[in-house]
A = this chain, B = another copy of it.
């Protein structure tokens, strides 16, 4: 599945992460990181993430746009191709995007209670995929319990609220430390990228995100790890950024082959399988299937929204990836097999017609 070569007459879409203009927050050096986006969905090819010298970026004249359609006539000379291929900082494209649900990593009912065995096993399964990946994880009982108690999603400016926000930030970073340690032990060079440092919201929606660290670390074959966190919010002061929101931003930016949601159940059921014996697993779900699903009310401890809201976000994510799945992380090797593209028990989420 090699990406189509850059050819005269063909339109390629480039996406510039760093710019040379002096007013940008991230003032770049001489090397510019450029992502060549995937062609439209029916053309099979992964995203290409590349670094190239500034001179070449100038030549294809995308120094001042975040995203621009570039006609290959401008780019198709041998120098350009050589640099794209030979740059020392070229890494393989990001193929897999995985969200480890907080309910798999922690006991969601008890404050700060990690499920260490599950964390270690899942880390080994991710490493066994042997493909470049981005990892997102939920906060589980390291985040939701205190966040709900102090209503951190509403923001605030009191001393008590600030203290609670700082406490939850420190807690989710502690859980992230466990996940990163397990990934490193499994052989991945995992690098945490906390949303609080690179992202800000505007009334709960993403206002800005700096994707450079994700792109640069993964282009060097590190495995970026990010997670649900308390982040800055332009209107509320601070608010909560869920792992699902990060999945959407990363899917949109990197267009991986496969997005995987690792849950504590087999997939999406027609009703909550924990309380309804007659609940049936949906092997595939598209927006028009939602009316047949009986969603329970939002969990008392989950501050990042209802299951229905999460599924609706998955539909958006499915739009940017080849395949989007929900699988059970409590069943051994199911995540590994799903990452390898094998057929597993789970729910395939598609944007659908």
Contact = CB atoms under 8 A, between A and B. Distances in A.
Query: Which of A26, A197, A200, A237 has the most C-beta atoms of chain B within 10 angstroms of its own C-beta?
Result: A197
Contacts of A181: 170
B190 A192 contact: no
Contacts of A221: 157, 159, 162
A238 interface: yes
Interface string A314-336: 00000000000000000000000
Given A166-B190, A169-B191, A170-B181, A198 B198 contact: yes
- Looking at chain A, what size class is its interface with the partner chain? 35 or more
B173 A173 contact: yes
Contacts of A190: 166, 170
Nearest to A25: B26
Nearest to A63: B23
A31 interface: yes
Contact of A173 (B28, B169, B192): B192
Query: Which of A157, A159, A217 has the most C-beta atoms of chain B within 10 angstroms of its own C-beta?
Result: A217
A4 interface: no
19 contacts: A19-B23, A25-B25, A25-B211, A26-B26, A27-B66, A29-B200, A29-B235, A31-B234, A162-B222, A163-B187, A165-B189, A166-B189, A166-B191, A166-B222, A167-B184, A169-B192, A200-B212, A217-B232, A220-B232
Interface of A: 16-19, 21-31, 64-66, 88-89, 157, 159, 162-163, 165-167, 169-170, 173-174, 177, 180-181, 184, 187-194, 196-198, 200, 202, 207-208, 210-213, 216-217, 220-222, 232, 234-235, 237-238
